[in-house]
Chain A
Amino acid sequence: MHFHLTEEQIAIQEAVRGTLADNWPMARLHAFAESDADFDPPSWQALMALGLGGILLPDSGMGLLDAALASQIAGEAAAPGPLIGQMLAVHAVALSSNPDVAGFLDDLVEGATVATLALDGSDHVQSANAARFFLTGSRNGPLELVEAGAGVTITPMPSTDRSRPLASVTFDGAMTHQLFAAGDPFIARLFDAALILVAADALGGAQKCTDMSVDYAKTREQFGQPIGRFQGLKHQLAQMALEVEPAHAFVWYAAYAWDAQLPDAPRAAAMAKAHLADVYVRCTRAAVAAHGGIGYTWEFGLNYWFRRAIFDRAWLGSPAEHRARAAQMAGW
């Protein structure tokens, strides 16, 4: 029986955290947010150098739980993408029996080529200009890998989440490789994994908002004392912690159930995505309130997490949609 993080898992999280602190400080995030770029090579290469690209290789000795722990830290740092897309594309390409894609794997694992998600449509695709591959498909259709280049049209759009800029992408005669045929159970598992990785990103963001608010409450003074001494604010902060702390184990369970292929894994994935999307939005709102005027500024940067919470909630299905699925799966 082991259901808390191992020292090794904590060390990996620390490594990702340290790498992002060095390569993705607030100044970089600000500069990125003001630019037209939809991809950040330095932080990407630093993360890939840690080996995150290969976590979901079948023989990595790791699994979705480890991928989720990395995604959590990316969420905490509001890191640019497309980490989730890359990890999932590696997983899909590695397990696909299509011989045409096998040659793509090494560069993907190393991060030398970038893959991004265009699941359930391609209206909102991250890092589209940097991507060499688009992972496309739907739960009921086939799963495909589309190559960038001829037949691919990218139209950037102003994006709410400035840390993960989006583009609308259309495919018309682009080079396409089928990875899994419609109906292959792998496809549903890939979608479930995506939900869990987004839930983990939301967990990291919600924890970050809570930590920032608690730190601020200890240093900011009003009425001659730290604002964290005022019970009204104290209880708001306790409420944030009450939302986010128990959610860690929820994400762990969803990832563990997926790795162990437990029968309740698909439902746990849907429930975790819905729950964490709510938690994230509530925590970012509470964080802005807890910071007062500074929290409402562009400069301070809290708004990056606020916007990211909107992204995580809307992307790959709303809480309402996943709760409806979960209700169905429970046989209600």
Chain B
Amino acid sequence: MDLSYGDDAEAFRGEVKAFLNAAWQPGERRRDELKAYIAEFRTNATGHGYLYRSVPKRYGGSEQPVDVIRAQVIREEFQRARAPMEVGGNGMNMTVPTLLEKGTEEQKELFIRKTVEGEYIWGQGYSEPGAGSDLAAVRTKGELSADGSTWIINGQKIWTSQGMQSTHMFMLVRTEPNAAKHDGITYLLIDLNQPGITRRPIRQMTGEGGFCEFFFDNAQTPVSWQVGERGQGWYVSRTTLKHERASIGSADGLGNQFDKLVELARETGRIADPVVRHELARIEGFVMAHRYTSFRLFSCAAAGEDPGPVSLMMKLALTEIGHEMALLAQDLAGEALLREPAAAGTRGRGPEKWLDQIMGSLGNSIAGGASNIQRNIIAERGLGLPRDLAMQAER
């Protein structure tokens, strides 16, 4: 075992550092001026091959060979310098990789550059009131216009994160009502600003907005915005996110949160309590196992090796550790939790701010595949146990 990145990577780190020293000097810039500076910086950093590495140059990327170690060095140095990385969100995480793999030339040209530049913001239009864990049960209907040029869409999507800010959506639509469940779905891109679409914010249990629902009433999208074949949408949506996805930092968020939990124990004067110390150390055991497993996954990715079933467990592990932290935080914060915290980002929030994590940790056990679905995946794909009869029957 060796946790150093090697001489090559360290030389590369020197280049990145030098670049950042010269190119990232935001100084006192504010608002529009800062925004313009950031956009210019991103273009500059992309020109040097540091951002949008998996995206071809002709679509605004830097088109670099896959190298998870370099990608990691870039992440570390950008974070250290507090320099902006790629525009985040569904666009870079999902739309772009899917288009790169399955999109037409026209689609790539139309969407990737604007997504990379942050102009297009994508909502994920998968869930419906009747289709959650059973995603292939989507019923939102797509029918071709008489001239065959346009999809006419009717139905409803729900729980769309960042739905209020989104300009576009990638969605799963039932276009072949007579085909088998998984074979009747088409993957469509759609412009959300049109008369046939109404959106409504849904308030989350935290009290804040965060996702919304969309109603489609003869909404339209060109046939040329369909990704992959008709009826193949389910398989298009499974396109795995490759390209330097492994990162050591994937477990850092959890570690940071744990450090804050220790801080909370200090602030509330409970850190000397042996029960609290034991609970903290017990939870930290899981945090450490998660962190070192992220090293393992990173190392396998760098070597191009398959780490095995453990990679299927990361989401559930993260979720479960989040629950444990929420429970301890609740005890540590004590009566402070009787007070609803001021909005996130407000100054002067006390221990009651942990309410955000206490509730947010529950979102993790639902969003992106509920925990029971994760358990099914671990058991069936990871351990090779036989599939559920009900689910097997419908495939």
Most A CB within 10 A of own CB, among B6, B284, B290, B298: B284
Among A225-271, those with CB < 8 Å from B are 225-226, 228-229, 231, 234-235, 237-239, 241-242, 245-250, 252-253, 255-256, 259, 268, 271
Provide the residues of chain A in CB contact with B387, threshold 8 Å.
229
Provide the residues of chain B in CB contact with A324, threshold 8 Å.
274, 277-278, 281
**A225-B389, A229-B386, A323-B278 known; A3 vs B3 contact (CB < 8 Å):** yes
Provide the residues of chain A in CB contact with B277, threshold 8 Å.
323-324, 327, 332
B305 touches A249 (CB 8 A): no
Alpha-carbon gap, A1 to B8, bound state (A): 11
Number of A-B residue pairs at CB separation under 8 A: 157
**A1-B6, A241-B383 known; A246 vs B293 contact (CB < 8 Å):** yes
**A2-B1, A2-B2, A238-B375 known; A274 vs B285 contact (CB < 8 Å):** yes
Alpha-carbon gap, A4 to B292, bound state (A): 10
Alpha-carbon gap, A249 to B379, bound state (A): 20
Chain B interface main SS type = helix
Alpha-carbon gap, A248 to B376, bound state (A): 22
Alpha-carbon gap, A332 to B278, bound state (A): 11
CB of B133 closer than 8 Å to a CB of A = no
Chain A interface main SS type = helix
B379 touches A1 (CB 8 A): no
Provide the residues of chain B in CB contact with A218, threshold 8 Å.
384-386
Stretch at the interface among B153-161, B185-193, B230-238, B310-318: B310-318
**A217-B385, A238-B375, A271-B288 known; A332 vs B280 contact (CB < 8 Å):** yes
CB of B289 closer than 8 Å to a CB of A = yes
A246 touches B317 (CB 8 A): yes
**A242-B378, A246-B289 known; A4 vs B386 contact (CB < 8 Å):** no
**A1-B5, A1-B69, A327-B281 known; A242 vs B292 contact (CB < 8 Å):** no
Provide the residues of chain A in CB contact with B295, threshold 8 Å.
3, 249, 253
Contact with B along A263-296 (1 / 0, CB 8 A): 0000010011011001000000000000000000
Most B CB within 10 A of own CB, among A218, A234, A256: A234
CB of B240 closer than 8 Å to a CB of A = no
A173 to chain B minimum Cβ distance, whole angstroms, is: 41
B313 touches A237 (CB 8 A): no
Q: Which of A239, A268, A319 contacts B288 (CB 8 A)?
A: A268
Q: Which of A234, A241, A259, A271 contacts B285 (CB 8 A)?
A: A271
A246 touches B310 (CB 8 A): yes
Among A25-48, those with CB < 8 Å from B are none
Q: Which of A234, A249, A252 contacts B375 (CB 8 A)?
A: A234
CB of B299 closer than 8 Å to a CB of A = yes
Looking across the interface, which residue of chain B has its beta carbon closest to that of A239?
A: B375
A229 touches B385 (CB 8 A): yes
Looking across the interface, which residue of chain A has its beta carbon closest to that of B271?
A: A332
Alpha-carbon gap, A320 to B277, bound state (A): 10
B372 touches A235 (CB 8 A): yes
CB of A146 closer than 8 Å to a CB of B = no
Provide the residues of chain A in CB contact with B374, threshold 8 Å.
238
CB of A154 closer than 8 Å to a CB of B = no
B281 touches A326 (CB 8 A): yes
Provide the residues of chain A in CB contact with B282, threshold 8 Å.
274, 278, 319, 323
A332 to chain B minimum Cβ distance, whole angstroms, is: 5
Sample (18) of A-B pairs whose CB atoms are under 8 Å apart? A4-B300, A218-B384, A229-B386, A231-B388, A234-B375, A238-B378, A242-B316, A242-B320, A246-B290, A246-B292, A249-B292, A271-B285, A274-B282, A275-B288, A323-B281, A324-B277, A326-B284, A327-B280
5 nearest A-B residue pairs (beta carbon): A275-B285, A323-B281, A249-B292, A3-B299, A327-B277
Q: What is A's interface to B at a CB cutoff of 8 Å?
A: 1-4, 65, 214, 217-218, 225-226, 228-229, 231, 234-235, 237-239, 241-242, 245-250, 252-253, 255-256, 259, 268, 271-272, 274-275, 278, 319-320, 323-324, 326-327, 330, 332
